[in-house]
């Protein structure tokens, strides 16, 4: 789990070009909103593609994405379950 979380954090920063450090992201960090990472819909697509490439886990539709893309921890958990 911690390995997945670490890789997911790196993916977020690298692929979405987020201006935060690894230390600033933890399991409870929200993906959206001003208090979280503030992702937009293009970032969501980029994240979906990134997760497919990095973990081989596919998120096929928007409904699934909306359900799991809450906190960084929730996304890591989903990847763990599916991979």
Partner 1 sequence: MSSDYPVPARLLPHSYPFVLIDKIIERKEGKSIICLKNVTFNEAFFQGHFRDNPVMPGVLIIEAMAQASGLIISAEQQSSAFLGRVSEARFKRAVVPGDQLVIKASLIEEFGPLYVFEASAHVQEVIVAEAEITLTIS
Applying CB under 8 A, does 1 fall inside the site for partner 1?
A: no
> Does 65 sit near partner 1 (CB under 8 A)?
yes
What is the nearest approach in angstroms of partner 1 to the Cβ of residue 45?
Answer: 5
Q: Is 34 in the site for partner 1 (CB under 8 A)?
A: no
Options 3, 21, 23, 42; binder of partner 1; rule CB under 8 A: 42
Strand runs labelled E in the chain: none
Residues near partner 1 (CB under 8 A) are: 41-42, 44-45, 48-49, 61-62, 65
């Amino acid at each position: 789990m911690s390995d997945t979380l670490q890789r997911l954090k790196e993916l977020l920063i690298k692929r979405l070009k987020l201006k935060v450090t690894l230390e600033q992201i933890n399991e409870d960090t929200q993906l959206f909103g001003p208090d979280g990472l503030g992702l937009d819909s293009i970032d969501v697509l980029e994240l979906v593609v990134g997760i497919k490439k990095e973990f081989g886990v596919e998120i096929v539709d928007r409904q699934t994405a909306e359900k799991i893309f809450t906190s960084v921890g929730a996304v890591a958990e989903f990847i763990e379950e599916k991979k």
